[in-house]
Structure 1
């Protein structure tokens, strides 16, 4: 099975290392993507939501991948959901991990439950980049230990701001794709996506799995997460 793992905001493919190893040990081929603007110092002012969608699609096309399992975490739920519904590439199944979901006409900030004014101000003050969480902010997150926090502080990068302020353009309904949603109990209850989740739960094409590893289960419980990902297509 071909797995394409897409990181959330501020992160690169490195965040999937332990999960990827576990999936490879199960015999899968695994691709860990790093999206534009997150891997090197580069001109990022023109990197928007469409850039990251095209990053994923072009990688899949360039490597000749077919019938893949596409996995997104947090911010990249917005990305993988759009890739899966666009139909430009062959997606067998989409997995959303502690993820936000794409809603036509809405940006990540619109659906996130965050203060839009505060986040847009932070992006403006950081020359168009969305600053990564501070050590103090990460310390308030459940399940992260000191090693996890040290890793995130060392490797997370500012994220291209336009990707979280650009509006989604969904070409077909999310309910039309086969998908699995993996998150802790109550995830998205704080956001504007609560009603959307209820609709998806009543569909026959989406499955829901609970995991209690905080917002970064690929760091806190990677083996358990890999087992759940594997079970989605086993």
Structure 2
């Protein structure tokens, strides 16, 4: 029997660790350990003012080190491809590999805002600057159309009600590190077939780390609507 892995699950923009719970339960049932993180500013009651990408990266590193985890698979959904990439050089000796689920794969010096193109980047910067706490939110119509179009409205509203404003610095700052592929560790890129919420085509993003995407059913929130398939795909690289 293979040694149990420590899956460290990092959520996308506006989400908390709760978004990974259905998948995490299934990874645990397969014999592994799971740790679902919530980035600073994204727990109800947090003050998101002034948070930068460095704070998100520091949090991922600190949580792994605090638990003294080894044999770690860093897993990022959506936006979280950026902070887990940023954390990689500081955690290299603890890592077994990486898994991305419908995630953005940043290039060095490329922020989430940059990846969305000049027009949308300008909108993001303007909105963040105008926000009293320096955050960016998503409204219900944007959420249901781009992130969860394949679910009934009651479920859409239930998930939407969990979301919190994203600290603006998370979107505007760019990582200044090499990609995760430089370590030569296993990488899995899992892509929801009907995903409409990515800043670039999923196959193109997967190619940035030299892999082909593993397709699963569902949209951007398939970690909630199709957790069996997402968990199975994440386990595939490290099958028992």
Does the TM-score normalized on the shorter chain lie above 0.5? Answer: yes
2:53 to 49, 52, 67: 49
- How do residues 42-191 of structure 1 correspond to structure 2 at under 5 angstroms? 42-87=46-91, 90-113=94-117, 115-127=120-132, 128-131=134-137, 133-141=138-146, 142-170=149-177, 172-177=178-183, 178-185=186-193, 191=200
Judge conservation of contact 2:6–2:72 (CA < 8 Å) in 1: yes
Distance, in Å, in 2 between the alignment partners of 1:42 and 1:220 is 27
Structure 1 gap segments, 5+ residues each: none
Which secondary structure does the structure 2 equivalent of 1:182 belong to?
strand
1:174, distance to aligned residue in structure 2 (A): 3.4
Aligned residues: 228
Distance, in Å, in 1 between the alignment partners of 2:73 and 2:99 is 7
Distance, in Å, in 2 between the alignment partners of 1:154 and 1:194 is 31
Distance, in Å, in 2 between the alignment partners of 1:19 and 1:4 is 12
Distance, in Å, in 2 between the alignment partners of 1:34 and 1:123 is 21
1:221 aligns with 2:212: no
1:17, distance to aligned residue in structure 2 (A): 1.4
Please report the RMSD computed on the Cα atoms of aligned residues, expressed in angstroms. 2.4
Structure 2 gap segments, 5+ residues each: none
Bigger mean CA deviation after superposition, 58-67 or 24-33:
24-33
1:200 aligns with 2:209: yes
Which secondary structure does the structure 1 equivalent of 2:82 belong to?
helix
Deviations 1:23-52 (A, max 9, x none): 111121110101100013233223110111
Tell me the TM-score normalised to structure 2 length. 0.85
Deviations 1:158-180 (A, max 9, x none): 0110111012111x343324311
